[in-house]
Amino acid sequence: MDTQERIIEIIDTDYNAFDIDVNNDTTFEELGLDSLDAVELLMDIESAFDIDISDDEFDKLLCVNDVIECVEKHS
């Protein structure tokens, strides 16, 4: 499973409250994530990929593609 598939699976399984079709362009807003949900998602992704994402980086993540690029940068 590649990075994109793994991230989308995490989001779809635990954070897709609206059951939308998650893709690279899906935003956290479209998923209905509040700030606490977004922090929990970040912790799940950090754990799944064994990486650390700084708060400054996290603040710049707006959509799934941003998360994918960030994870790939740290891997």
| Positions marked active-site | 34
Place of tokens 């700084």: 54
63, β-bridge pairs? 27
Do the beta carbons of residue 10 and residue 41 sit within 8 Å?
A: yes
The span from the CA of 15 to the CA of 17, in Å, is 6
